[in-house]
Amino acid sequence: MNDDGADAGFEARDARTDESDGDERDSIDAGGTADADDSGDDPMPNVPDPEPEESDVPDDVRKYARFKKMDGAQYERVNEFLRDRTYITAREWAIARLCSDFRTETGVEMTKIGENLPELVPFMTDTYTPQAVNQARASFEEKVRMAGATFLYGAMCDFFTAEELDDVMYESTEVAKFLLEVEGVDLAVEEELEAEERISTVMREVREASEELRERETDAE
């Protein structure tokens, strides 16, 4: 995917905003205002300093930085980019990634994801119930399976030439790599080449198997 396409999809791809400290954002004094004293005098004697309220944001949520490159991005623009290139929505993309990152031995922390969604993903503005998180995850999985079946059928039914299929794979790989980069995944050149080789190997096997299947059907007739 070229840079023009990326910029058209995400206005904020390369935008950088200063990251405010989580404690400063989530902690204010007991009176509801920031503690500031321009006079420079010491606090009144025998009066304890107001202590900041405890933040109810879990540490792993506050430290989560998967989508920090998306600071300033609007949901509509992200959704438009994905809808032009994939089957999934911005909601499904974000929640599927969160379900992977917040998976434990006993399952996915759906309550934590839903309650802290705006903290975790800059372009998400509302909290979600655990049921809504689960629904988005299930929708993502279903769409991936359907897209996989559609792609494999297109590859096996002899609709595409080998060269055309290579072009489809290249475009798909570029979109996938861009999404990973936006998530903060640092792909080394060696990893990219290895992934592309694995995909090419699988597609060659698919084409060969498809050709053998069509030949058997022809012989049977």
Chain segment 99-111, per-residue pLDDT in tens: 999 999 999 999 9
CB atoms within 10 A of CB 117: 21
CB atoms within 10 A of CB 114: 21
Q: End of a domain among 141, 174, 201?
A: 141
Is 83 part of any domain? Answer: yes
Q: Please state, rounded to an integer, the average pLDDT across all residues of the chain.
A: 78
Q: End of a domain among 141, 171, 203?
A: 141
Mark whether 165 and 132 lie in a shared domain.
no
Confidence of residue 221 (pLDDT cuts 50, 70, 90): low
Distance of CA 147 to the CA centre of its chain: 18
Per-residue model confidence (pLDDT) at position 1:
45
Mark whether 161 and 137 lie in a shared domain.
no
Is 151 part of any domain? Answer: no
Q: For residue range 123-158, what is the model confidence (pLDDT) as tens digits?
A: 999 999 999 999 999 999 999 999 999 988 888 888
Mark whether 64 and 136 lie in a shared domain.
yes
Mark whether 161 and 212 lie in a shared domain.
yes
Task: Look at the block and give the residue holding tokens 């934590």.
Answer: 112
Q: Which residue range forms the structural domain that includes residue 78?
A: 55-141
Mark whether 136 and 162 lie in a shared domain.
no
- Residue 196 pLDDT > 70, yes or no? yes
* Distance set, CA 138 to CA 89, 112, 113, 114, 145 (Å): 13, 17, 15, 15, 11
Tell whether the torsion through CA atoms of 126, 131, 133 and 137 is positive or negative.
negative
User: Which among 95, 135, 102, 92 has a CA at the least distance from the CA of 117?
Assistant: 95
Structural domain count, the chain: 2
Mark whether 178 and 135 lie in a shared domain.
no
List, in sequence order, the alpha helices (H) in the chain. 3-9, 22-26, 59-62, 75-85, 90-101, 110-115, 117-120, 130-156, 162-182, 189-220
Paired tokens of 83:
């809808």
Mark whether 129 and 161 lie in a shared domain.
no
Model confidence, pTM: 0.68
Is 115 part of any domain? Answer: yes
Helix (H) or strand (E) segment spanning residue 67: none
